[in-house]
């Protein structure tokens, strides 16, 4: 994300001009724009004019509008944002108070104004404009005939390709074995083409290949043999130059949901130590471990976490970004204040993306969890009273 101009201050109103450049930037914009904000961008409007003879002529006119935001829609597949609201600036073609929709897309400039920029929004701008926060991990989950290619960034888990092909089983007779091997090669070729099409090796730190059995090893061998055959071509060179970035990991199946299991592999975590996705998985694992071994030091749910914060007991706060997209301003402020309080007394805050597998897990635990500095029996007792 590129900043064009910036006139914002914590706790005060102001505006910022931005140009989203990547798909992930669109997710950041979705988390930044809230109902009640003002957004200014160029858009198109169909204008009908009447000629002197009485005939009507319609044409599309490009114009710049400022809307008071009333509705926000995020298209996950197309990575686009549709913002609907009332026009608040005099315009030749759009009346004051008239509704209009602006599409925010990559490489299209816009200005966002808020009456108050809180710490969570300011942090989101900082993360979005940091060029190091990119899709730095690619993962392929596969089993014979099925594969998913996924890009994992600081905020998103994007499925870039799904390969689903029939691979007949390997039976005893020679004909069936040949048929199986031919189908498997066609499948591997399709997976390889997906990698060449979607993985940017100048950005990606590693490519995880996960599967049950030996499918991952067979694919890797096929890929390197193919790269050696075409070593003089750009595709062959890029595969051979980045051979060391491929990591084989065991998985129970080839479906996409197995990513959660794959990212928890201790051997893999050491290699992905500096990626946000792995950092989130580790934090969640630590919460589950504490919940099992020291249950009075691990709590989830709004009521318990807020009470722990009042006692300045939170060591690590795990919170989902969905809570900051609440249309209820009071509710949003409550969670922003929680983040500020925890940081103020030395706690660590991990804001999880709901577009990550770890974020989905956190959502199942109400979206907010805390690991405490010391046990709090009274929180456990309040649970019993509620029951």
pLDDT tens digit string along 133-173? 555 789 999 999 999 999 887 667 778 899 999 988 876 66
Residues 32 and 119 in one domain: yes
Q: Tell me what pLDDT residue 387 has.
A: 46
Q: Tell me what pLDDT residue 204 has.
A: 83
Domain that holds residue 182: 137-271
Residues 267 and 144 in one domain: yes
Last residue within a domain, chosen from 271, 300, 319: 271
Residues 109 and 187 in one domain: no
The number of distinct structural domains making up the chain is: 3
**Looking at the DSSP assignment, which residues form a beta bridge with residue 262?**
none
Q: How do residues 184-219 score in pLDDT, each as one tens digit?
A: 999 999 999 999 998 988 878 889 999 999 999 999
Q: How do residues 264-289 score in pLDDT, each as one tens digit?
A: 777 676 666 556 666 778 889 899 99
Residues 261 and 280 in one domain: no
Residues 261 and 142 in one domain: yes
Range in 23-27, 39-43, 215-219, 311-315 the model is least confident about: 23-27
What CATH number corresponds to the domain at position 241?
A: 3.30.420.60
Last residue within a domain, chosen from 100, 128, 156: 128
Q: Tell me what pLDDT residue 157 has.
A: 78
Q: How do residues 329-364 score in pLDDT, each as one tens digit?
A: 888 889 999 999 999 999 999 998 887 778 888 999
Half-sphere exposure of 358 (CA within 13 A, CB side): 29
Spatial separation of the C-alpha atoms in residues 381 and 383, rounded to whole Å = 5
Last residue within a domain, chosen from 80, 101, 128: 128
pTM over 0.85? The answer is: no
Residues 211 and 298 in one domain: no
* Mean pLDDT over the full length of the chain: 86
User: Quick check: 223 and 241 in contact, CB under 8 A?
Assistant: no
The CA–CA distances, whole Å, from 238 to 181, 185, 242, 337 equal 26, 21, 6, 48
Q: Which strands sit side by side in the sheet containing 56-75, from one edge to the other? A: 2-7, 14-19, 110-114, 38-50, 56-75, 80-87, 99-104
Closest to 16 measured CA to CA, from 122, 129, 112:
112
User: How crowded is residue 48: how many other Cβ atoms within 10 Å of its Cβ?
Assistant: 8
Residues 288 and 259 in one domain: no
């Amino acid at each position: 994300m590129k900043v064009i101009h910036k006139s914002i201050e914590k706790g005060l109103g102001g505006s910022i001009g931005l140009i989203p450049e990547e798909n992930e930037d669109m997710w950041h914009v979705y988390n930044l724009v809230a109902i009640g904000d003002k957004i200014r961008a160029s858009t198109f409007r169909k204008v009908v004019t009447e000629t002197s003879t009485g005939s009507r002529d319609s044409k599309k006119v490009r114009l710049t509008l400022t809307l008071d935001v009333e509705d926000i829609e995020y298209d996950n597949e197309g990575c686009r944002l549709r913002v609907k609201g009332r026009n608040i600036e005099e315009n030749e073609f759009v009346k004051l108070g008239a509704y209009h929709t602006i599409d925010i897309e990559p490489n299209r400039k816009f200005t966002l104004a808020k009456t108050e920029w809180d710490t969570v929004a300011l942090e989101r701008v900082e993360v979005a404009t940091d060029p190091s926060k990119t899709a730095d991990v690619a993962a392929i989950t596969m089993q014979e005939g099925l594969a998913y290619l996924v890009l994992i960034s600081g905020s998103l888990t994007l499925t870039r390709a799904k390969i689903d092909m029939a691979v007949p089983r390997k039976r005893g007779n020679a004909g069936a074995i040949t048929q199986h091997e031919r189908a498997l090669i066609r499948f591997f070729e399709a997976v390889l083409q997906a990698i060449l099409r979607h993985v940017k090796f100048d950005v990606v730190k590693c490519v995880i290949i996960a599967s049950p059995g030996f499918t991952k090893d067979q694919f890797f061998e096929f890929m390197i043999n193919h790269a050696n055959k075409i070593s003089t071509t750009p595709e062959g060179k890029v595969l051979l130059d980045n051979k060391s970035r491929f990591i084989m990991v065991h998985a129970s199946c080839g479906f996409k949901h197995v990513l959660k299991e794959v990212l928890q592999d201790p051997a893999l975590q050491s290699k992905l130590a500096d990626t946000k996705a792995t950092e989130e998985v580790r934090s969640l694992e630590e919460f589950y471990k504490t919940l099992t071994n020291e249950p009075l030091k691990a709590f989830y749910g709004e009521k318990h976490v807020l009470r722990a914060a009042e006692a300045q007991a939170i060591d690590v706060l795990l919170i989902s970004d969905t809570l900051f997209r609440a249309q209820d301003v009071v509710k949003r402020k409550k969670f922003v204040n929680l983040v500020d309080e925890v940081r103020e007394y030395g706690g660590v805050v991990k804001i999880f993306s709901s577009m990550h597998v770890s974020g989905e897990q956190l959502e199942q635990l109400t979206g907010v969890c805390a690991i405490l500095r010391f046990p709090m029996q009274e929180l456990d007792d309040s649970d019993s009273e509620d029951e």
